[in-house]
A and B are shown apart, each in its own frame.
Chain A
Amino acid sequence: MYDESTLVKEKFQLLDENGQFDDSKGYDFDDDLLVKMYKWMVKMRSFDVRLLKMQRQGRIGTYAPFSGQEAAQIGSAVALDLKDWIFPSYREIAACVTHGLPMKQVLLYVKGHFEGGEIPKELNIFPIQIIIAAQALHATGCAWASKLKGEKQVSVSYFGDGATSEGDFHEALNFASVHKVPTIFFCQNNQWAISVPLKKQTVSSTIAQKAIAYGMKGVRVDGNDVLAVYQVMKEAVARARNGEGPTLIEAVTYRQGPHTTADDPTKYREEKEVENWINVKDPITRFRQFLEKKNLWTVSQEEALQKTCNEEIDQAIQEAEEEPLIPTYAAFDYVYAEGNTLLQEQKEEVQRNGQRREDV
């Protein structure tokens, strides 16, 4: 077990930047789990890179890439059961897909298809949140409902370091701890909120230490170490399921790319800093080195995986691009459970306009 008193200051780490595993802490992981997590990380990196390319080609809209944050997102999502809830922001595509969201669904979202937010019925994933920290309250309420119903699901909100400045962050942590609800606040501290560095968000020396003020468990973890993330998340989930209340996890990571495709990070970040995170601290490189040392991964497996990932991504893209568009008038059916006079009139106007254009 890790030392609770120091963890809000120090980063919990199992795998260092060279892929050296820390045996002294006494953790052991199932080989299948290791390979599964690695495959997810590679697939999600490929997906992210492809989505960036598609944006440059004009095939999708504005996109917020997550490269560099795969260990944080996948390590945490793999520790959940399918029935657990996640409440993502826009940079948590990898967590969503790992938790079951089809890549095709992500593509519909980034293409601006009306059904992009229509999470498949069997999945407990909330639609992507744009407003910073708003979803932390939704996860708290959802977890509260599980507690009131006597059910064992946990609810996880994902957000970034910038979100910790929002009022909703405070309100969510406070509500969750006062009512001891089974929720996990998973903060990916990727150092930058668009152009504003963490030191301009807070003078707290860590984000994890904020948990202390709420009487809540706080954990700081190396967010580029998938094993450490998995381990702290697994323990937070167990505590939540066991009725021991919420946890704030700070996963220290880095946004390797721009905030979105509309952002130019060279205006505010030092190239050296970015290169260090990409060349020295990358979460996938580190994990592959570890797997290779354990003889769990080979060059030929890597090649085969890349090929499968590309095929799966190609397939998802093809399906998403073939998906028929929803006519604009259909949107009027999703404002309320039932329509009303004014909405119906506007819907009919859109239908008439559509028909007129087709007549031309």
Chain B
Amino acid sequence: MAKKTMIEAINEAMEQEMEQNERVIVLGEDVGRNGGVFRATDGLQARFGEDRVIDTPLAESGIVGTAVGLSVNGFRPIAEIQFLGFVYETMDQLSAQAARLRFRSAGRFHAPIVIRSPYGGGVRTPELHSDSLEGLFTHSPGLKVVMPSNAYDAKGLLISAIRDDDPVVFLEPMKLYRAIRMEVPDEAYTLPIGKANVVKKGSDLTIVTWGATVPLVTKISEEFMTHGIDIEVIDLRALQPLDIDTIIQSVEKTTKLVIVHEAVRNNGFGAEISAVVNERALFSLSAPIVRVTGYDTPYPVPTMEDNWLPNADRITTKVKELLAY
């Protein structure tokens, strides 16, 4: 076992799945010779050839739409959307086509596709490169939505996603691609899609988060711990399917819930979690549920993004308010 970054773990997951199943192929913009703009597919074309690691024309709807056709005729395409902000170009092929195929055909067809895409803020990108758009996909029945927060989870979840018989939107926090190295097994392994990870057990308050914000929330919880405040941190890993039991068990124990996500607040996935907790554990709560999220503006310019994102100051302030409630 070696220490790997998330981007290395993602690359390794694809390489190993392509190795063991010749029907796994990669397609997208710049994924071939260039190895992807973040090097996620680095070396794959050299190893597996141009028929299995395909530089497509620059067209997101074309990438996902042809992936649907490829998937019904025997392949397991891994389609890359270069940045998640470009996904609007292919929303029909994702939400109206891939997502609904099993249902539309009463089970005759299905689309085993993985749609990988980098997302998330704090990287000083141009416009529409940093948006967190997971709510678009959780609102599309038929799609699974996976959002890993570290290298180990990314590899196991991506292998599960490639083997999954349903379309999986696999969102990779670009800020974390190379931020942290951690032990990642060299061999292939899977993690169940829909099982949350309790990153830190605690008894005073629960923070539910996913993807890009998990390391920040974990760090904040450790700082609170030095002051004797024991926060439980749940990394959802996947939003669809949602691990409701882990959330409810935690809230029943701590009685206080903070939800942290980078996506805009209005109709964000935090609202869904809040509703689910209200429906199932209202009387376990000792205080209102709090959300710390991106604000309800378009994702702002780089000189503003640090104030816009759920940063350490915003999260800490809200946690303190809730603890004092």
Decide if A145 touches B141 in the complex (CB within 8 Å).
no
- Of all chain A residues, which has the CB nearest B103? A334
Centre residue among A145, A174, A341 by max chain B CB count within 10 A: A145
Decide if B103 touches A171 in the complex (CB within 8 Å).
no
Decide if A117 touches B105 in the complex (CB within 8 Å).
yes
Decide if B102 touches A334 in the complex (CB within 8 Å).
yes
Does residue B70 face the partner (Cβ distance < 8 Å to A)? yes
Decide if B69 touches A155 in the complex (CB within 8 Å).
yes
Decide if A341 touches B102 in the complex (CB within 8 Å).
no
Decide if B65 touches A138 in the complex (CB within 8 Å).
yes
Does residue B75 face the partner (Cβ distance < 8 Å to A)? yes
Q: Which of B11-19, B56-64, B288-296 makes up part of the contact surface?
A: B56-64
Does residue B68 face the partner (Cβ distance < 8 Å to A)? yes
Which residue in A118, A127, A137, A146 is a CB contact (below 8 Å) of B65?
A137
Decide if B142 touches A137 in the complex (CB within 8 Å).
no
Decide if B106 touches A137 in the complex (CB within 8 Å).
no
Range, interface on chain B:
35 or more
In chain A, residues 151-204, which have Cβ atoms closer than 8 Å to a Cβ of chain B?
155, 167-168, 171-172, 174-175, 178-179
Which residue in B65, B110, B144, B241 is a CB contact (below 8 Å) of A140?
B65
Decide if A121 touches B108 in the complex (CB within 8 Å).
yes
Does residue B283 face the partner (Cβ distance < 8 Å to A)? no
- Of all chain B residues, which has the CB nearest A143? B69
Does residue B5 face the partner (Cβ distance < 8 Å to A)? no
Centre residue among B68, B69, B107, B194 by max chain A CB count within 10 A: B69
Does residue B92 face the partner (Cβ distance < 8 Å to A)? yes
Does residue B51 face the partner (Cβ distance < 8 Å to A)? yes
Residues A174 and B59 in contact in the complex (CB < 8 Å), given A141-B67, A141-B70, A341-B241:
yes
Decide if A336 touches B97 in the complex (CB within 8 Å).
no
Q: How far is the CB of A102 from chain B (nearest CB, A)?
A: 14
CA distance A328 to B302 in the complex (A): 49
Q: How far is the CB of B267 from chain A (nearest CB, A)?
A: 17
Name the prevailing secondary structure of the A interface residues: helix
Does residue B301 face the partner (Cβ distance < 8 Å to A)? no
Decide if B108 touches A118 in the complex (CB within 8 Å).
yes
Residues A149 and B74 in contact in the complex (CB < 8 Å), given A118-B108, A335-B141:
yes
- Of all chain A residues, which has the CB nearest B101? A127
Decide if B70 touches A174 in the complex (CB within 8 Å).
no
Q: How far is the CB of B169 from chain A (nearest CB, A)?
A: 13
Q: Inside 8 A of B74's CB, which chain A residues have their CB?
A: 145, 149
Which residue in B57, B105, B108 is a CB contact (below 8 Å) of A171?
B57
Decide if B69 touches A145 in the complex (CB within 8 Å).
yes
Q: Inside 8 A of B92's CB, which chain A residues have their CB?
A: 131, 134, 168
Q: Inside 8 A of A325's CB, which chain B residues have their CB?
A: none
- Of all chain A residues, which has the CB nearest B272? A342
Decide if B66 touches A114 in the complex (CB within 8 Å).
no
Decide if B69 touches A140 in the complex (CB within 8 Å).
yes
Taken residue by residue from 178 to 221, chain B's Cβ proximity to chain A (1 for < 8 Å, 0 otherwise) reads as 00000000000000001000000000000000000000000000
Residues A134 and B96 in contact in the complex (CB < 8 Å), given A144-B66, A341-B241, A342-B242:
yes
Does residue B72 face the partner (Cβ distance < 8 Å to A)? yes
Does residue A331 face the partner (Cβ distance < 8 Å to B)? yes
CA distance A143 to B59 in the complex (A): 18
Q: Inside 8 A of A337's CB, which chain B residues have their CB?
A: 102, 110, 164-166
Q: How far is the CB of A155 from chain B (nearest CB, A)?
A: 7
In chain B, residues 86-135, which have Cβ atoms closer than 8 Å to a Cβ of chain A?
92-93, 96-97, 101-110
Does residue B244 face the partner (Cβ distance < 8 Å to A)? yes
Tally A residues with Cβ within 8 Å of B.
Answer: 45
- Of all chain B residues, which has the CB nearest A115? B106
Q: Inside 8 A of B93's CB, which chain A residues have their CB?
A: 134, 137, 168
Decide if B165 touches A137 in the complex (CB within 8 Å).
no
- Of all chain B residues, which has the CB nearest A116? B106
CA distance A145 to B67 in the complex (A): 9
CA distance A144 to B108 in the complex (A): 20
Decide if B108 touches A137 in the complex (CB within 8 Å).
no
Does residue B73 face the partner (Cβ distance < 8 Å to A)? yes
- Of all chain A residues, which has the CB nearest B194? A340
Which residue in A141, A172, A334, A342 is a CB contact (below 8 Å) of B107?
A334
CA distance A342 to B241 in the complex (A): 8
CA distance A333 to B141 in the complex (A): 12
Decide if B73 touches A142 in the complex (CB within 8 Å).
yes
CA distance A19 to B240 in the complex (A): 60
CA distance A29 to B97 in the complex (A): 40
Does residue A278 face the partner (Cβ distance < 8 Å to B)? no
Does residue A350 face the partner (Cβ distance < 8 Å to B)? no
Q: Inside 8 A of B70's CB, which chain A residues have their CB?
A: 141-142, 144-145, 148
Decide if A336 touches B144 in the complex (CB within 8 Å).
yes
Decide if A171 touches B59 in the complex (CB within 8 Å).
yes
Which residue in B73, B242, B245 is a CB contact (below 8 Å) of A141?
B73
Which residue in A114, A167, A171, A341 is a CB contact (below 8 Å) of B106?
A114
Taken residue by residue from 243 to 274, chain A's Cβ proximity to chain B (1 for < 8 Å, 0 otherwise) reads as 00000000000000000000000000000000
Q: How far is the CB of B65 from chain A (nearest CB, A)?
A: 3
Q: How far is the CB of B175 from chain A (nearest CB, A)?
A: 29
Does residue A329 face the partner (Cβ distance < 8 Å to B)? no
CA distance A146 to B66 in the complex (A): 12
- Of all chain A residues, which has the CB nearest B166? A336
Q: Inside 8 A of A172's CB, which chain B residues have their CB?
A: 62, 65-66
In chain B, residues 258-312, which have Cβ atoms closer than 8 Å to a Cβ of chain A?
none
Q: Inside 8 A of B71's CB, which chain A residues have their CB?
A: 141
Does residue A126 face the partner (Cβ distance < 8 Å to B)? yes
Residues A138 and B68 in contact in the complex (CB < 8 Å), given A145-B73, A336-B142, A337-B165:
yes
- Of all chain B residues, which has the CB nearest A113? B106
Decide if A138 touches B56 in the complex (CB within 8 Å).
no
10 extra interface residue pairs, beta carbon distance < 8 Å, beyond A118-B108, A137-B69: A127-B109, A134-B65, A134-B92, A134-B97, A137-B65, A141-B71, A142-B73, A155-B69, A334-B107, A341-B245
18 A-B interface contacts by CB (under 8 A): A117-B106, A119-B109, A126-B109, A127-B101, A134-B97, A137-B65, A138-B97, A140-B65, A141-B67, A142-B70, A145-B75, A149-B73, A171-B61, A175-B56, A335-B141, A336-B102, A340-B194, A340-B242
| 9 nearest A-B pairs in the assembled complex, by CB-CB distance | A141-B69, A137-B65, A141-B66, A145-B73, A171-B62, A340-B241, A118-B106, A142-B69, A138-B69
